Structure formats: structure tokens, C-alpha cells
Structure 1
Amino acid sequence: MSEGKTNNRSTRYSAPSYPIIYISWRARLAEFVTNAIDNLSHGITVRDAMKDLGLRDKTDFLPGLDVRLLPHQVIGVSWMVAQESSTRRGGILADDMGLGKTVQMIATMVINQPEPDADCRVTLVVVPAALLQQWKDEIDTKTNGIFETHVHHGKDKIKKLSELQSKDVIITSYPTLCQDFWLPKDLEPGEEAEYLAKEGGILARAKFFRVVADEAQFIRNRSTRASTSLAYIRSIYRWMLTGTPVTNTLADVYGLLRFGRFRPWNDWNDFNAYVAKVQYEDAPLAGQRAQAILEPLILRRTKNSTLEGEPILQLPPKDIELCMLEFSEEERDLYDSFEKRSKIRLSKFIKERTLVKNHAVVLVMILRLRQLCCHPNLILRDTDDFEDPTLLMAGDGEKELSRAIKFMGKSWVNDVSWGFLERSAASELIDFADLIAEGNDTCPVCHDLYANGSGRIIECGHELCFDCLLELSNAAVAHDGIFGYGSEKQNMEVERAYEEAATKGLRPCPTCKKMCDFNATNKVFKSIAFEPSDEELTAYANAHRRGSRRHQVKYEIKDEDDEDNMDVDVDISESSPTPNKIEELSEDELPDASSIFAPKAKRAKISDVKPKRKFDDGPSDEVIATWRKGDDNLEASTKMLALVDLLKKSGDDKTICYSQWTTMLDLIDKLFSRHGIQCLRYDGRMDRPSREAALTNFKRPGGPKVILVSTRCGGVGLNLVVANRVVNMDLSWNYAAESQAYDRVHRLGQEKDVFVKRLVVRNTIEERMLKLQDVKTGLAEAALGEGSGGKLHRLSVKDIKHVGADL
């Protein structure tokens, strides 16, 4: 790629005004490109890099840096400095986890500093909240104090622009950044940048010398506020640090290109036409094009790379073992019984043609099966009835819809339902690749798919996952940057109103910042109530293809005296008749049941089972009562017993135990008390000082040897080389997330052999999840010129079916 297709400072950029949803991939990659990107050093030798940086030998320190760079880091810093001198003004440092991306970035900051009288002097570093203090410590300890750093977060946020501009480095979190880039809905396209520069939060009004997005996979989804906010930010230099630049699809690359303003690929229309849409017709070609785009912008080295004939990094070996476990007789009985009931429920959805509407139910059904693999208490504690799987899932959609109408009104329900219809169309229909949908299939707080917890709609109409809803409702009140947009008097009035609302138990919506009551049962609703049916999606698709716009297609809640008053119908103009059957759609319009749920032979077999069949071979009441216990009398599950056994064999080594569910960590904590095992906790329910105290205690010689960590909270960025053993209690949808968690211990500074144990139960959904992980790992390797091939798609209904092959 020539430099003529990259960006320069004078280019004006306007990010899209509305979020966009990724489509669901149907194409298959026949084979990946075999000529991988050879950008180990971009032609730079260690000797050349040392010369560029003014180093005489490998033992020299860079002036201003209090740490000696390794050979591959010297090349990395040389490349980064050259990138900043070119028209690209930055790039993507995509080194494997543990190779020292942070220190290379800090070294670049030391070498290329702004002039003392420059208008833009501040470097902004945007990180996950868990890494705020770690980044500050890294900069302060490695730069001899030459930078004045400040953590811009919570109550420590700077309110005056002059004070912010007096700092050298500002470190903030993605959620805090997003709050400063809020945009009113009535802005005309193209007015966003001007509005933010004048009326936005302090980070939106500021101009920066350099912006660094750490763990940049957080901005891969172009529809998220984190991604769009960074696209608007004003800066001379732009850097992305990530060990996983491609996680799910080639569309992940666009979020990075947009932030970097790498022309012409920072325009979605250009990137979509050149790469994203090409995947439908010629996936290998799309992979080649993605490689060509990335090659001049990215530097990526893996731990297995060699440099001038020597290993790039001398790390102890890392042994990852898949521990296949067998359920106890009672656990198997519980699991099989629930799986049978789930099959019956799916058969009912297929017959009633309500698969799309019940998408959330299917996702939560799979979630419950995954939780059963860890401990039955995770689902049994939620209900007294084990007969109907829906009682353990998101709830009944019609009843929830009725409740929403009663408390919020039809107009509110119409608006929310319309958003879900657009989202479903964008997600499931190929023809809707460019559809701009309000909403997203990931939680705005934890950025996880709603598959990992049922979504909740709050009174402002925005969605977040149930776990984050609970966490935010119990969190301490902080200003979180919603002040500072008007005069001092106006700011004070807003702040007083905020505090008054907070004392009443209200908390700000993560998306729009409206103060909402997260604990009011009449103002929080399950997302399943607003999912469109297949018929509604069909009608929308046909109307859209005939040129219909939103004013021609609308949701209409029937009056209470109408028949079936709990249904949500789609009213289409006479020129756009609604087909009565899903079968009337073409193959490209709506995924059929076979692609979503089961091979035909499998589906036919399931259909023979009558939905109203009663089970007389299920678990007994005594078994259910035994496994429902979550107190000191809890029954240890197969995985918990395996964990205790592994810890007994670990000697003096320290161990990290990961789980995606804090409730599982709670059960493990209770079991440890019974066995006399001291442990620490690190999860999202703890405030930042408590988490930092836990890490300090864990790193202390003689401190506890075990720490229980939430995967979503402690899976990225942390340096935990004090431990050399990892036990993962449950699989992630994407292996990249697991790999990042494992590399918290397998990185620079690790002196012991590393042992990772992945606990998987045989003949369960977990075995099928392993196949999906292989698919997504292959995709990431495709765009980077690594690996050998696989299927290209994101976690969608079809993925769910591949995972639950027999459901």
C-alpha cells in the first residue's frame, strides 16, 4: 500500500453519526493466503534500529528510559518512530501478548516528544479501567519522572481544559472517554465534529499530540461508542496496541483503520466494497486484500518468531492441557434432563416459526448448559421448578411485553421494538450489510455478547447485560465526566441535580447518561420481549427491498380490545404485502432452520418429539435439592473437585483460577474455606482500590497462593508473572479471550515453566464449543497471514447451532 493511501494531519474526518451492526457471515474460506505478511522487522535489522535510536550496543539505555530494551523491542521502537515521521502518523503494534507493547510505546513517547511551546503537547492513553494504575506505574517508573502523568477517571477527572493541557500524559478509560463524546440525536450529518469541539466533554474539546488505544480490540466493532468516540478524537499521532487485531471477522479491522484515519480505508463504503462484501463471493481474495491494507500499518511478532536466527523471546515453556472430565452420576442426570427439555423448546420454536424472536432464549439456554458444566447451583438457585427450561432462562416474552406496555406505554414499547427489528435485520439478513441500526449485540459496559447473560432494557430504552446492571446498581456514585459542558454555573446546577438523583438510588445509563432506577422492577425489562418474530422480520425485509423507509414501516401495538393484544404486529403499506410463510423468502433473505438450528436429519428427529411430553426419568427432588445448595453445605462439582486436586499438586507455585461468572467464583471461595485454602478475589464487583490491593497482596512473597479472577475483568492487560499456573473453569466463545488471560502469566518476567489447565466436561456443549473456537482462531490468522484455513463468521444464531449441534 502506497503512502498516498494513508492519512495526514490536514485531512478532515467525520465519523458516522449512528451505530452500525455487523452482518452474519455465510461465506466459507476455501483456503487462506499462504504468503503470510513478513513484517517481523519491516526490513529493519537490530543494528540499523540501534543506529536509528542512537544506541551503540545492546546494553545501552535510551536517554530518558530507565529500562533496557530487548532486540525485538529496539526494532519495534525504531519502526514506531519512523511511522510517526511518515504520513501515516501512527499504526498498529500487534505484538503477541507478553512481548512488551507497553514499554515500546513508552519508549516512542520518550523519543518523540512535543516542542515545549507546541499547541498540542498531551499524550492521551485510553485503556480498560483495570489497567489505569498499571499504565501510570509503568510510565512513572520507566521514564525517570520526565512525564507528569494523571489518571483522568471517576472523581479524579480534570474539569478545566487549561489544567488538562498542563499535563504530559493523561490516562483514562474507554467508558470515561465515551462520556465526553456524547452527541444529541437531532444533529445533522456532518455537524458532529464541530459540536464536539465546542460543546463536548473535556476530552472532546481538547487537541492531543498523541492518542494511544491500548487493548484496541475494544474498538473493533464500528457500532460501539468506544469505537466512534475514538474516531472523532483530535490528535496528531494515533496508535493502537493489541495482541488480537482480528477477533471474529475481517470487519474487525475497520474499527482500527477508522481510528487511525488511514485513507481511504477509514471510510466504511470503501472498506466494505473492497474487503467486507467481497467475503461473500471470494473469501481468499478478501483475506489477501486485508493483508495488503494492514502490511504498511501493522507490526506483529509472535512468541514463536525468530530474529536473526535466534528466538525473539526467551520465555519458559507454556504447557496448555485440555483436561477432559466426567460428570458424576447425579450431575449427568441433571445435565441430560435439562438438555432434553431444551430440545423440546427448540422444536416448538421451529414449528411456530419464532426462531428470530426467541433468539435470546436460545442464547440463554446455551448459557445455562454451560453453567451446568461448572455447577448446577448456578441455574438451580434461580427457580424452584426444573420442569420447564424457560423458567431458567430469560422469561416469557409475551408476559414481559405486557408488563412493559403497562408501565412504560405503547409509544415507548414501539420505539424499543423498532430498534430490535432493525438490529435483527442487520444481524441476520445478508442484504442489510449497510443498515444503520440503533443498538448493538454487545453490552456497552463489559463489551461481551448478550449470549453470556440475558439483556435488560432500562427506562431510557438502552440495553445492558444483567450482570452489569447489578454491578452498576450497587456501585458507588461517581461523576464520571458528565459535567463541564456549559458555564460554571450551569455545571454546578447539573452536578447538584446529579447528586440529588444519586441519593435516590438512581444511576446513569452507560449509553446516554440519563439517571435511571436500575432496581425498579417496573422500569427494567427483559430484552426477549422486544425481539421480532420471523414474520415481522420477513415483512420488514420485503418492505425495505421495495424502497420503503421507516415512515412506511412501523410497529403498531394493538388496542387492548383487539384479539391477541399482547402481540406486536408490523403494519406495511398496501404496496408491500407481507408473505404469510417464511418459505417464500429466498435463501439469501433469511437463514432457514437448517442453517440456524440443525442438520435436516437431526431436526427431523427432534420434531418427532412432542413438545408437551412429560418426563418421568428426570432428576429426583432430592437430587435437585442437594445441588441447589450454595451455602457451606454445597456439593462440590466435578470441576471444583478437579481444581482442588490441581492445587494440592501445585506445591509452592501460585495459581490463577479464571471463571466468567462471579457466582461460580463465590462457590469456589466457599469450597476453599472448607479445605483451608487461602485465596484472593479480583472481579468487577470490587472497586478499583480493592482490586489493586488484591493484586499487591497476591504479588507479595508469602502471600496467598491462589487468586480467583473474573475472565472479563482480569483477562486483559494485567501482569501476573508471580503466578505460573492457570486453571480455566469455563471456555470462552472465542479462544483469543482465553489466550489473553493465559498470557497474564506467560510474558516478560516469567521465570518458571507455565502450566495451563482447561477444564472441559465430556459429552456436553463444551466439546462443541471447542470446534467453534478453532473456526474463529483460523479467521484471525487469515487476515494476518497466519494459519491454514477455516470458516468465516461471527458468533451468531448459526454459531450457536454449530455449538449446540444436537439441540
Structure 2
Amino acid sequence: MTDVGGPDQEQRLADFVTKSIEDTSSTVSVKEAMKKIGLKDKHDIIPGLEVRLLSHQCIGVAWMLQKERCPDKGGIMADDMGLGKTVQMIATMALNPPQTEDECQTTLIVVPAALLQQWKEEIETKTNGLFTVHIHHSKDKLKAFSQVKSKDVVITSYQTLCQDFAIPRSVEPEDELEWLQKNGGILSKIKFYRVVADEAQFIRNRATRASVSLSYIRSTYRWMLTGTPVTNTLADIYGLLRFGRFRPWNDWAAFNEHVAKVQFEDAPLAGSRAQAILKPILLRRTKNSTLDGEPLLQLPVKDIQIVNLQFTQAEQDIYDYFEGKTKLRVNKFINENTLVKNHAFVLVLILRLRQLCCHPYLTLSLTNGFEDPGMLVAGEAERERSRAKKIMGAEWVNELRERFMKREINQNIMAFADEVEEGDSTCPNCQDLFTKETGRILVCGHTICFDCTLELMNSPIVHDGVFGTGNEKENLAVEKEYELGVARGWRPCPTCKQMMDMKSNDKVFKTAAFEPTDEEIQEFKHNRRVAARSKAFKNKVKMPRSPTPASPASSIPDELPSDSDDDLPDIAHMHDSPRKLKKGKAKAKSKVISSEDEDVEMIDMTPSSRAKKRKIALDSSDEEIDSISHGKKPRSGVKNPSKNSDGPSEASFATWSRGDDDMEPSTKMLQMFELLKQWEAKGDKTIIYSQWTSMLDLIERMFSRHGIRNLRFDGKMDRTQRDATLATFKQPGGPKVLLISTKCGSVGLNLVVANRIINMDLSWNYAAESQAYDRCHRIGQEKPVFVKRLVVQNTIEERMLRLQDVKTGLADAALGEGSGGKLHKLSVKDIRYLFNIGPRDSNTLSED
């Protein structure tokens, strides 16, 4: 079957449906709408309200009243952010109050935790005491049915709601509703008059607890408020339809059969069906919509600018060092066709590079467990070896790697069973074979299986009573060491009986980290051949040909290793991929080359010698190795070695690893201070966004150093702290700077008191970023809004912007803010471009 919509079919279809409902307005005029809600003219106020409705809000409220009076008994209010969804909902509540005969007269409003207080304030200030409002959350939860009935409005969070609707897995699906009414929380036992789900995009995924819990709520009327009703796929719609109980589409089998599944076979048909489903139950206007030829809103201008920055040389060196490491790793995944399989790790690599753009400390602070900071973006085996090297020393690690390599050579090349170290492949405790994944190495160097380490740790010590085989003094010393270990809770190695701490995983290592890879084995064999040929050539030159007939031993082929390792490359050099950081101005000891297919790291393979060292590429073919090692010009496509391949000095890493009061300010921080200084005289309030609270921590420390007063709003704060922060920020004369985490700031807040924004880091999902900006640019804003997006040039940030310009499905590819399941939507070419591998021209990127 031909590909109907292309690889980003789901996103394009979602965009198509979204555009089709962009202006799904009621067909009634302003005059007709005002008549339906009982207003004589534009200056009238709805009884019980303290504010006048705008013209488009009158139409919205009239539509909502109509939906409550028809069989749908609710709908989706999907007006763009800033058009007043909240006030329209409050007006609807005032115009259609419960009757005395209604069993429960309470309206339940479910919101993100950050909006609990804001909703309470909105209702109380806009209705002048018309409703009694209670926040059902934390210590203020209502306990009895009578308490809930006594309130006109109960506001709760999605998290609290989920707690009341938690159903044990043992309950059969058909029995869940009955179980909830008997055993659930107070909210699950009541049939409400009206339920409102604010920021309803929280329930679009039908499998989440919030979506399932809301679907069980019983009520007469059901409303969803969201500025983004369709985001990624048509399946997003189902969570809303299920909560609204809009038959027949609240049944997943029916919806999946007629819409969700169809989008893969006939996209236009699926889109048309989705439009038909949404049209009668959804109202959406945008800020660009017009009414009687005029824009719905007359807001001050919003100016969004990208501020391009250049790293300092020190920051650039650190960034280049990590980017070089990530390029090698990603290129390996691409060449091995394992990119999607390793998508989670690729997301981590992207995250680390993005954090480096804000401040190197955000990444370097995570490298404390590694000898080489580059291990942060290395594979699991490399990180485990780096950890072992820091704890046990390089010599211990190198000896193990040499032992494991010799065992592999014996097994795979010589195949002499009597020379294989069986103890390395069977557990000395249980005698079972263990795999690379289950094997563990103790500090004494002996191997054991993971299950036996657990058994030894949690079982009484078994000892044969023999302490050594030396003289009495030596045996007493061994016995004393044993008793001391017992007192500390240590256990003996099953092989050598050395006492050690097995409860601490710090000194138990995975054998898989020390196993040589297939490439390393092939390389080892190649270098043995090279060494053998070199030795044979030297002997041929120095010694005359012997007339003596060749002995049987001379017929052994070159591939077989000799008994002596004197002529072999130092295996420690071969495996010690993480290079030591250069100190001061020491000369580089290794180089990096890159080819069209893969960036190849050059590692010193020869023993230390006064002779000129030859460089051999670990991941190159034998042909490439020969050409490089003999001084030949590399193949076309191989670039010149990088002059900074060794990375920054230890002093530079130490400087940028500081996150205390003496930290070095990053390029973005310096630009932030420059902007605040420019704006200070104007008296405007500023919001600073970052996705990472650790970045906000650093900014706060810098503010403290420079005497800048600020407030903070993030997910770590409880509701009381958040409410107090926002109240303080809104007061005149208080701190003029508010630090907000992007995710918290993009949901439902009203921050029109500020009109200046600095965004420290880009979001993959620009919609969330835009929502954060619109917290200032909405009804009530009286000043122009200025937004500065800080972007470091020649980094992953700049490439993110270019990808967003050409890649239609990228905004919701979830590369940083969610699951990585949609990484496959980026082509290999896009991934190469993102990691600065290959062509730099954004015109070459795929647009499908």
C-alpha cells in the first residue's frame, strides 16, 4: 500500500484538524447572544458578576448555556489562551445555577495544583460572594458528603482526584464503578452538579490516571477548558470525548475503528470524521479571530527576539569536548542501525548538550563519579570502567581488561580448552555459568554471579575455620582480619576468602564492562599480526637465512599468538579509551579524525617509547589502520585531526564545575545581567524562564552575589508557597524579577504584572514556550511585552531552531520534555544535523 501521509502523517493530520477548528465560532451575532444571556446592551453586567463580558465572551457564554440545555450537557471551550475561558465558565455557572431539587448542587473544578488559588481568587473577585468556594487539597480535604454539599464550588487538583479514584488491580473492569462507590475517596462517591476540567490537555492520553479518574466522575454537566484541544494525533481527542460522555464516541472501540485507525489508511477521511465529531461540541476562537470586522482582542504588541550569543573560549572548549564525545556515540548508533533502540540514551545526550549552553556546571556537576568528565556521555560499559578506575585505580582495571582479553583470545582463536580460565565463566559459589549481564567482579578480582552476591550479603558467614597456610603469626593476622570484617558486616570472597564489603555496590563491578568488544578483539588480532610481521622483518634483516630446515613450530600461522607478550601492544593503552585530561599546556597525546561514515577516535596503541608513536583508529577497518600507521594519506572524506581533541584542561573543568557563590558566570548569565541593567530604569517587572530548576538555583546564587532581589516559582514549592510568591510579585514595590520553571509557567498562570521575559533555554515544544510568554500577554496587559530568547551560536540550540523551521512534526517530538517514543520521526539526516555530524546546510534536512 502506498504511504498516504508520509512519516509525519499523524502530526500533519492533527495540524489539519486543528486548523479546521481554529475559528469554530457560534453562528449567533453579538446582539442575539446578549439577548440569550439576559443583557440589554454592552454595558450590562450579568447578575452576580462584577465584570462586564467582552463581545466574544457574550457569544461564548450563550453557546455554553445552549450546550448545557441540550443532550450534550457540556462541551469543550477551546478558546486561545488569553481570551477569557475562565470568566466565560464562571458566567455560565452564574446563569445556570442548580435547583433545589438537585441532589448535589456543587460544581467540582479540577485544575493543575499551581492554579488552585488562582481559580479561587477568580471566582471570588468576579462574583462578589455569589459562590462559597473551597479548595479540596492537602490538609484542607473535605471528609464527609455533607461538607461537600455545603459548598457551591469545590476546587481540587488532578493529583488529589487520582487519589480518590485509585482502584486496586485485582478489581475486574466491570466491577470498578461499584468498587469506587463503596471504597473510593469522597469525590468518587458523589454525583456533582457540574464538573469542569481546566487545562484539559492533561487528560488527552486515555491511559493516564488523571484521564481514567475523570472518566469515572458522575455529574450532570461536564466541561473541558483547553487552549490546545488537539496536539499530536487524533487519538488525543478520545480522552476528552470519554470524559464528556459524548456518545457514541466515548467508546474506544468505536472511536478507534472509525477515526484513530483510519488516519493510517485514509488521512483525509479520518480528519473529516474528527471535524464532524468536534464541531457540535467545541468552540474555539484565536487572538487572530475577528468579530464584526474587528480583532477579538486589542492587546499591546508582543515583541519576540532571538538573542544570538557567542561562548567564551573556555565554554567553547568544554562544549566542543562533550559534543565530540556525543558525535562518536551517535554515529556509532547510526552505523549499527540501533538509533531508535538507543533513543533514551540519545535524549540524554541532547539534554547534556543543551544544559552546557546554559552553564557548564549543569553537566559537570554530574561527573563526580567519573575520572574523566567525558564519561557522562559515554556508554554503560565505559562509565562502569571509569567508576572502577576511580575506586580501584587504573592498574586494577587494566589488569582485568588484559585478563579478559587473553581469555577471549584463547577461547576464540586458539580454542585450547585446557587453557581457558573456567573460573572466569562459572560462579565459584554456585558453579553455574553466568552471562556478561549477571557476572560481577569483586575487589579481589574474582568473579561471582549477581544472585550469589545477594545471597552472601544476606546469609550467615560460612567459614571452614582455616585461616591461612603460613606460620602461626601469619595465620593469626588472617584470623584477626576475618574477625574485623565480620564485625563490619563484610563477607569473604568464595574463591580467596578475602573479606570485603559486598553490601556497598560501590566495590562490586559488572563483568560486562571489562569484556572486550568484537571490534577490540579484531583490532587486537590485527596488531598482533602487525607486531609479528615487524619482528620477523627485523630478524630477516639482522640475521642471515639459516640453512637449518624449518622446525614444526615454524609452520604455525601468524594468527596464533606466541608464548611471549613482549612484542604485543600494551593492552592497557588499547582499552583505556577515556583519555586523561591534559594538564596545563601539555601537548595533545591523541587525535580525532572523522570520516563520511563515522567519527573515529585516534588512540595511542604502542607501549611508551622514545620513538614516534603511531596512531591507530579503534573503529577503523584494517585497510584504514594500515594506511594511517604507515604514514599514508587518509582516504578522502577524512578530516584533519582536531587541535583540541584532548579537551579542556583540568583547571578549566575545575573552574566550571563550581556551582557555589564563587562560580564563574556563563555567557547566558552575563547577557541576562545586561538585559536587566538596560530595563532597570523603566521600572518594568521581568520573568526569567528556564526548564531546569538547577539553572534557576545558579541564577539565584548570582543574584545574591549582585544584590538583586528576586522571587521564585517552581514545582518544588507547595501551594501555599506558590500563592504567596505570586501575591508578592503582583504588589508594587516588591522584587521586580521572578524566576519560573518553564513547565510551571506555561500552565494557567496570570502574570500580566510583568511585561519583560528572558528565556534562558529553548523548549523543543514551542507551544509550551509560547504559552509561557502569553502568561504576560493576555487580557489585563497594558504595556508592550518584550521576550528575549537566548541562543548560543554554533551549538545544538541553533540547530534546534533550524530544525523547527523545516521539520513540521518536530515541535512535539518529545526530545527533552517527555517520552522519547517519537524519536523515529526524525530522520537519520536530521539526527546527524542535530549533533553537528556531516553537512551544516539546513536546506538538506528532510521535510517529510
TM class by smaller structure: 0.5 to 0.7
Instruction: Decide whether the 8 Å contact of 1:659 with 1:728 is kept in 2.
Output: yes
Give the equivalent residue in structure 1 for 2:636. Answer: none
Q: Which residue does 1:372 correspond to in 2?
A: 356
Retained in 1: the 8 A contact 2:661–2:701? Answer: yes
SS in 2 for 1:290: helix
Which residue of structure 2 aligns with residue 698 of structure 1?
729
**Shift, 1:696, TM fit:** 1.3
Cα distance in 2, alignment partners of residues 285 and 246 from structure 1: 17
Looking at structure 1, the residues matched to 806 and 105 of structure 2 have their Cα atoms a distance apart, in angstroms, of 44
Aligned partners of 1:714, 1:736: CA distance in 2, in Å? Answer: 12
Residue type at the aligned position of 1:663: S
The offset of 1:749, in angstroms, is 0.6
- What is residue 796 of structure 1 aligned with on the other side? 823
Q: Is the 8 A contact 1:347 1:607 kept in 2?
A: no
Q: How does 1:337-376 map to 2 (within 5 A)?
A: 337-349=321-333, 355=339, 358-376=342-360
Deviates more, 1:646-655 or 1:148-157: 646-655
2:498 maps to what in 1?
Answer: none
Report % sequence identity: 63
Deviations along 1:695-752, one digit per CA (max 9) or x if unpaired, are 1111111111111111122321111111001111111221111111111100111000
Q: Which runs of 5+ in 1 are unaligned?
A: 1-23, 401-519, 523-528, 530-600, 782-792
- What does residue range 20-35 of structure 1 map to in structure 2 within 5 Å? 29=12, 32=16
The answer on 1:163 being equivalent to 2:119 is: no
Deviation digits for residues 371-408 of structure 1, max 9, x if unmatched? 011110001112144746453589669979xxxxxxxx
Decide whether aligned partners of structure 1 residues 357 and 668 sit closer, same or farther in structure 2, where only a CA change above 3 A counts: same
Give the aligned partner of residue 154 of structure 1: 138
- How much has 1:280 moved relative to structure 2? 2.4
Aligned equivalents of 1:107 and 1:624: distance in 2?
59
**Contact 1:323–1:759 (8 Å) recurs in 2:** yes
Report the number of matched residues.
579
Conserved in 1, the CA contact under 8 Å of 2:165 and 2:180? yes
**Cα deviation, residue 206, structure 1:** 1.1
Q: Separation in 1 of the partners of 2:221 and 2:177?
A: 18
Contact residue 122 and residue 165 of structure 1 kept, 8 A: yes
Q: 2:306 aligns with which of 306, 309, 322?
A: 322
Change in CA separation of 1:347 and 1:683 when aligned onto 2, cut-off 3 Å: same
SS in 2 for 1:43: coil
Contact 1:724-1:754 within 8 A present in 2 as well? yes
CA distance in 1 between counterparts of 2:185 and 2:382 reads 39
2:154 is the counterpart of 1:127: no
Check 1:250–1:775 CA distance in 2 against 1; reply closer, same or farther (3 A cut). farther
Does the C-alpha gap of structure 1 residues 157 and 675 become closer, same or farther in structure 2, counting only changes over 3 Å?
Answer: same
Which whole-Å CA distance do the structure 2 matches of 1:34 and 1:644 have between them? 40
Q: Which runs of 5+ in 2 are unaligned?
A: 1-6, 386-502, 506-511, 513-593, 603-616, 621-641, 813-819, 838-848
Is the deviation greater in 230-239 or in 797-806? Answer: 797-806
**CA pair 210-780 structure 1, distance change in 2 beyond 3 A:** farther
- Offset, 1:254: 1.6
Which residue is 2:720 aligned to?
Answer: 689
Q: Which amino acid aligns with 1:605?
A: E
Tell me how far apart the structure 1 counterparts of residues 223 and 803 of structure 2 sit (CA, whole Å): 31
For residues 234-253 of structure 1, what are the structure 2 equivalents within 5 Å? 234-253=218-237
Q: Which residue of 1 aligns with 2:376?
A: 391
The answer (yes or no) to whether the contact 1:246–1:252 under 8 Å persists in 2 is yes
CA contact (8 A) 1:361 1:390 kept: no
Note closer, same or farther for the CA distance 1:34–1:97 as it changes in structure 2 (3 Å cut): closer
SS in 1 for 2:753: coil
In structure 2, the CA distance between the partners of 1:386 and 1:638, relative to structure 1 (3 Å rule), is farther
Contact 2:601/2:618 (<8 A) preserved? no
Query: 8 Å contact 2:376–2:383 — kept in the other structure?
Result: no
Name the CA distance, whole Å, in 1 between partners of 2:326 and 2:123: 52
Deviation at 1:765? 1.8
Tell me how far 1:617 sits from its aligned partner. Answer: 3.1
Question: Whole-Å Cα distance in 2 between the matches of residues 118 and 602 of structure 1?
Answer: 75
Task: Give the Cα–Cα distance (whole angstroms) in 1 for the partners of residues 26 and 170 of structure 2.
Answer: 46
Shift in CA distance, 654/174, structure 1 to aligned 2, threshold 3 Å: same
CA contact (8 A) 1:39 1:295 kept: no
For 2:292 and 2:504, locate their aligned partners in 1 and report how far apart those are by CA, in whole Å. 63
1:34 Cα deviation after fit: 11
Is 1:62 matched up with 2:50? no
- RMSD (Å) for aligned C-alpha atoms: 3.2
Do structure 1's residue 766 and structure 2's residue 797 form an aligned pair?
Answer: yes
Contact 1:249/1:780 (8 A) holds in 2: no
Deviation, structure 1 residue 286: 3.0
Please, which of 254, 260, 270 is the counterpart of residue 276 of structure 1? 260
Pair 1:741–1:800, CA change in 2 (3 A): farther
Q: What residue number does 1:145 align with?
A: 129
- More relative contact order in 1 or in 2 (CA 8 Å, sep 6+)? 1
Could you tell me which of 660, 669, 672 is aligned with 1:643? 672
Judged with a 3 Å threshold, the aligned counterparts in structure 2 of structure 1 residues 671 and 354 are, in CA distance, closer, same or farther, namely same
**Distance in 1 separating the partners of 2:139 and 2:297:** 40
What residue number does 2:200 align with?
216
Larger radius of gyration: 2
CA–CA distance in structure 1, aligned partners of residues 169 and 155 of structure 2: 29
Q: Which string of whole-angstrom CA distances, capped at 9 and with x for unpartnered residues, describes residues 261-305 of structure 1? A: 112222222222333223323334433332222111111111111
Q: Secondary structure at the match of 1:211?
A: strand
Give 2:121's aligned amino acid. D
Task: Give the deviation of 1:805 after TM superposition.
Answer: 5.1
| Deviation of the 1:77 alpha carbon | 0.4
Alpha-carbon distance in 1 for matches of 2:183, 2:800: 47
What are the superposed Cα offsets for residues 171-219 of structure 1, whole Å, 9 maximum, x if unpaired? Answer: 0000000011111111223221121122111111111111101011111
- Matched residue SS, 1:649: helix
Q: TM-score, normalised by structure 2?
A: 0.64
Residue in structure 2 matched with residue 335 of structure 1 by the alignment:
319
Taking structure 1 as the reference length, what is the TM-score of the superposition? Answer: 0.67
Per-residue deviation at 1:346?
2.7
Correspondence for 2:536: none
Distance in 2 (CA, whole Å) between partners of 1:85 and 1:113 is 12
Counterpart AA for 1:694: T
Q: Is the 8 A contact 2:326 2:835 kept in 1?
A: no
Taking the aligned partners of 1:167 and 1:103, their CA distance within structure 2 comes to 20
Partner-residue secondary structure (3-state), 2:689:
strand
Residue identity opposite 2:156 in structure 1: T
Distance (Å, rounded) in 1 between the aligned partners of 2:79 and 2:154 = 24
1:605 aligns with 2:598: yes
CA deviation string 1:616-663 (max 9, x = no partner): 431111211111111122111111111111111212111000011111
Residue 604 of structure 1 aligns to a residue whose secondary structure is coil
